[in-house]
Structure 1
Amino acid sequence: MKKTLTTTLLLATALTACSTAAKPEPAPVAKKQETGAVAWAPCTDLTGPDGKPLKDASLECGKLPVPLDYAKPDGEKLDLALIRIKATGDRLGSLVFNFGGPGGSGVDTLGLASKAFASLGTRYDLVSFDPRGVDRSSGVKCGDLNKFASVSPQSADFERMMKEFAKACAAESGKILPHVGTANAAEDLDRIRIAVGDEKLNYFGLSYGTQLGAVYATKHPKNVGRFVLDAALDPSVSFKERAVTQAKGFKQAFDAFAKDCVAQTCDLGATPAAVQKDLQIFLKALDEKPVKVGDRELTGGLAQTGVIASLYSKMSWPVLEQAVAAAKKGNGEALLSMADLYTGRRPDGTYNTMMTSLQAINCVDSPERPTDADIADVKKATLAVNPMMENGGLSVICRYWPVHGTNDDAKRVDATGSAPIVVVGGKGDPATPYEWAPRLAASLKTGVMLTYEGEGHGAYLSGSSCVTRAIDTYLLNGTLPQKNATCPAT
């Protein structure tokens, strides 16, 4: 799924665990000794949002060698980067996280947002990792991202730039590109399970992490422990369906933001319709005349990215209003900073591999290589539902991708024989719209649905005590949510 939950995680506060009553699932079995495959040591390369070294004695990092090509298990290896926070109480085992993307760094995200999962850390070692092709795990590199990140999807140069981008990826990361897909990452998850000494994998996947977890459960149903898949993605969707459904989701989120903004005296317009119209005009004007921000420029593409980033969480709506209002007056610093957080641009001007890894994983996960007509069709369809998101989605970049996509290994989901898997969907989720959650639960065959009625990408981090209670109770005590359980909006 497009975009990790890092933005939401940074805004989230620590959530409190509670309990409910229902039939509990058996406790996960934790071995007393680890296999020794990971040599844990203090983390040395973590940084905070300000770019300064992040020092936290509770954080441990390590590496796990896995096959580059699982068809050649004894061949060349790559090192997966891992992070761990040891359980503070009576340990049940490890709980492995993937925070989304695809392409998000689990090492960085858990390091920055560990307090959001503190209740789970009382019984579990909290573990995350940079998936293959991401940052410290042979991260995909594609040249100078500064020139690619600023291009608007509506720009006449967009397709040409995406072609250059794909060529740069092949030149710098050709060896890793065929091996970064979700099917291989699922095998890596099983290697992690073995390395931390657990008989069953206990897993918390958010956004794209739900696809990774679903593929793992399909490949290794008997190894599924306690699984939560929050902000569910339906892996079976085509590029067009994904683009159109997300365009609808972000339109719904923007409409909710505009309505809320106007209700509180909005600096962006007197009515929700005026807010949208004025913003569209402003974004188009930025393409013609960007706003200077130091030695950089806030282009229409970067401004649009900043707006989209802020729609992931209701908590960032006030920041969005202030940032757009300031940019319209000539100060684009806040909106540019929001775009930088989304694209993984660091304070020193370098980038993590979020955007490059995302494209690499998505394109290898699908055999779709769209034609001119296909791309035009997607653009027309997205424009019809959301005037601010007219684009070809993944179809543009994957058209030029230097390696073939896989067959259905990353799309076929059927976890028959696994333990129950809790699938969470939010009615106001813009990035992984609600309709995908029940579809994923049904495809799994073992899915148990939990619905959140509120806004935001990711229900656990929404601030809903109902959602937190249901998920914590399941992961800590094994008590599943009631059938078709629903939590109200906060």
Structure 2
Amino acid sequence: MRRVIAAALLLAAAGCSATPAEPAADSTMDPDKIAWGPCTDVQRPDGEPPARQDASVRCGKLSVPLDYAKPDGEKLDLALIKLPATGKEKRLGSVVFNFGGPGASGVDTLDQAAKALTTLRARYDLVSFDPRGVERSSGVQCGDGAEMDRFTSLDTLPSNDKTHQEAEAANKRFASLCQQNSGKILPYIGTVNASHDMDRIRAAVGDPKLNYVGMSYGTQLGGVYATQYPKNVGRMVLDAPLDPTVTFEQRTLAQTRGFQKAYESFLRSCVKSTCDVGKDQATANANVEKLMNQLAAKPLQVNGRELTQGLASTGVAAALYSELTWPFLEQALSEALKGRGEALLYLSDSYTGRAQDGTYSTQMTSFPAITCVDSAERPDEAALRRTETAAMKISPLFGSEGSGGLCRVWPAKGSDEARHVDATGSAPIVVVGGRGDPATPYEWAPKLTAQLKTATLVTYEGEGHGAYLSGSKCVMGLVDSYLIDGKVPGKGSRCPAA
């Protein structure tokens, strides 16, 4: 399961813990309409309620078919959030967001991102949702907090027959718990069904075309939607793109290289001035390697918990998603080298969705549920070991067998339908790829652009996972100009690092 955590880290955007959203008690429910009401449970990244809530923000539910092959059969309620347009100029409709994962809560994340989206919100209602199998939308459950603690804390060092057997046993245990607790929904989770859900959302908010911003995994969802519903595409932006055609092995190796590259950039940045991790890059790297080996032998005690090597490497990877968290990573590593693991454990918890009370969001359970249904690939033992060996050579810190190990024992069948996208006949699509993106390496950006026959690529030269919300005025200007004015960026458009 530790390898599943590594795989999720290599792909996901941020996810947050939450409890089921409820619309106002007097809201009416029409199967084809959204029942909007006050938001009662939107969460901050630390799992605590927000200090104050914008009263104009609305939360709601939309009833959709559990099985689209039986549209009049059993229903599933999707949880949504809406930030109404604030400007005095003519409202342009809605923009729907998916912030990635797969498994991130759109309800929580849109609320957290509101301040960065003021220009767009002046003209559009901003809408997001928890996709099926995520959080409030029948979120996948795979064990209680104690079970999740055991799963997330497993080490990757050393890599040997014993750790392989432990990983396989953990994968089987995890998959069994997912089937036990969420078996009814597991076959119906996946990107193709989520694309059908998005078209229901488009119709329910009253838009003839879907205006959409997808980030990370959300780029695959957008690509599938544009392939399923090309004539319904309005203005679509795909940021931090995923190449849906890659195999589990190709994905794992590309993302391992991406995180190792980002880690080395962090170390170079750290040692340019006084760096508490080491006086130069080689020394700093050696100190981190020594720390990880020590934690594999003897975890640090942290307030009644243990900081294992697995949790520590998760914490390091989590901090590499943005340059803004690099100073905190330096502090966390410095403290851990001195025997204090609180900060690294906090970073790990912030990624895995563990709240202070020991409960978890569905981020780590929704991720494999969607990933495994989205591919018919089921690697054998030889393929898993080949992948792990190659990944560990690239980076002992981030190397793993990827998500193929869990998908191999997953209780729901997979399909390759979501791996094929072309968007033939759709309106123009803007793809934004970052040179220093650790989770979705830049090489995937031109590949997805080529697959989507109507796409144009914008290159961001900076670090971090995702460019639109990175602080780059150039990227935000190009994207907002397209979404608001319909101006497609010129071929070969580039933006400097923020």
TM-score, normalised with respect to structure 2 = 0.91
| Cα distance, 1:35–1:77 mapped onto 2, change above 3 Å | closer
Once the 2 structures are TM-superposed, how far is the Cα of residue 222 of structure 1 from its aligned partner? 0.3
Matched, 1:96 2:96: yes
* d(CA) in 2 for partners of 1:486, 1:480: 13
Match in the other structure for 1:130: 130
C-alpha contact 2:31 2:63 (8 A) present in aligned 1:
no
Q: SS where residue 458 of structure 1 aligns?
A: coil
Q: SS where residue 82 of structure 1 aligns?
A: strand
Once the 2 structures are TM-superposed, how far is the Cα of residue 44 of structure 1 from its aligned partner? 0.8
Match in the other structure for 1:14: none
Match in the other structure for 1:22: none
Q: SS where residue 494 of structure 2 aligns?
A: strand
Match in the other structure for 2:304: 295
C-alpha contact 2:31 2:64 (8 A) present in aligned 1:
no
Structure 2 residue identity aligned to 1:469: G
Match in the other structure for 2:266: 257
Equivalent residue in structure 2 for 1:312, among 321, 325, 329: 321
Equivalent residue in structure 2 for 1:391, among 400, 404, 408: 400
Once the 2 structures are TM-superposed, how far is the Cα of residue 115 of structure 1 from its aligned partner? 1.0
* d(CA) in 1 for partners of 2:246, 2:202: 29
Structure 2 residue identity aligned to 1:104: A
Moved more, 99-108 or 286-295: 286-295
Equivalent residue in structure 1 for 2:237, among 222, 228, 236: 228
Moved more, 425-434 or 114-123: 114-123
C-alpha contact 2:32 2:200 (8 A) present in aligned 1:
no
C-alpha contact 2:110 2:128 (8 A) present in aligned 1:
yes
Structure 2 residue identity aligned to 1:60: R
Moved more, 378-387 or 61-70: 378-387
C-alpha contact 2:32 2:62 (8 A) present in aligned 1:
no
Once the 2 structures are TM-superposed, how far is the Cα of residue 328 of structure 1 from its aligned partner? 1.5
C-alpha contact 1:454 1:489 (8 A) present in aligned 2:
yes
Structure 2 residue identity aligned to 1:139: G
* d(CA) in 2 for partners of 1:204, 1:219: 17
TM-score, normalised with respect to structure 1 = 0.92
Once the 2 structures are TM-superposed, how far is the Cα of residue 395 of structure 1 from its aligned partner? 1.0
C-alpha contact 1:166 1:400 (8 A) present in aligned 2:
yes
Matched, 1:278 2:287: yes
C-alpha contact 1:226 1:475 (8 A) present in aligned 2:
yes
Aligned residues: 464
C-alpha contact 1:3 1:104 (8 A) present in aligned 2:
no
Equivalent residue in structure 2 for 1:84, among 82, 85, 89: 82
Superposed, 1:420-431 pairs within 5 Å as: 420-431=428-439
Once the 2 structures are TM-superposed, how far is the Cα of residue 206 of structure 1 from its aligned partner? 0.3
Match in the other structure for 1:217: 226
Q: Could you give the per-residue CA deviations for residues 393-419 of structure 1, whole angstroms, max 9, x where no partner exists?
A: 01111111111111x211001101000
Match in the other structure for 2:481: 473
Superposed, 1:30-429 pairs within 5 Å as: 37-54=33-50, 55-56=52-53, 57-89=55-87, 90-143=90-143, 144-154=147-157, 156=163, 157-406=166-415, 408-429=416-437
Q: SS where residue 440 of structure 2 aligns?
A: coil
* d(CA) in 2 for partners of 1:397, 1:339: 21
Q: Could you give the per-residue CA deviations for residues 12-34 of structure 1, whole angstroms, max 9, x where no partner exists?
A: xxxxxxxxxxxxxxxxxxxxxx9
* d(CA) in 2 for partners of 1:489, 1:137: 37
C-alpha contact 1:186 1:215 (8 A) present in aligned 2:
yes
| Cα distance, 1:394–1:210 mapped onto 2, change above 3 Å | same
Match in the other structure for 1:23: none
Moved more, 46-55 or 127-136: 46-55
Q: Could you give the per-residue CA deviations for residues 358-397 of structure 1, whole angstroms, max 9, x where no partner exists?
A: 0100001011111110110001111122221221001111
* d(CA) in 1 for partners of 2:273, 2:372: 42
Which 5+ residue runs of structure 2 have no aligned equivalent? 1-7, 17-29
Cα RMSD after superposing both structures:
1.5
Match in the other structure for 1:13: none
* d(CA) in 2 for partners of 1:189, 1:7: 19
C-alpha contact 1:218 1:415 (8 A) present in aligned 2:
yes
Displaced runs of 4+ in structure 1, greater than 4 A?
none
C-alpha contact 1:185 1:212 (8 A) present in aligned 2:
yes
Once the 2 structures are TM-superposed, how far is the Cα of residue 202 of structure 1 from its aligned partner? 0.2
| Cα distance, 1:7–1:319 mapped onto 2, change above 3 Å | farther
Match in the other structure for 1:25: none
Matched, 1:434 2:437: no
Structure 2 residue identity aligned to 1:399: R
C-alpha contact 1:141 1:353 (8 A) present in aligned 2:
yes
Q: SS where residue 434 of structure 2 aligns?
A: strand
* d(CA) in 2 for partners of 1:315, 1:65: 39
| Cα distance, 1:319–1:272 mapped onto 2, change above 3 Å | same
C-alpha contact 2:15 2:353 (8 A) present in aligned 1:
no
Match in the other structure for 2:22: none
Structure 2 residue identity aligned to 1:327: A
Q: SS where residue 348 of structure 1 aligns?
A: coil
Q: SS where residue 197 of structure 1 aligns?
A: coil
Structure 1 residue identity aligned to 2:275: C
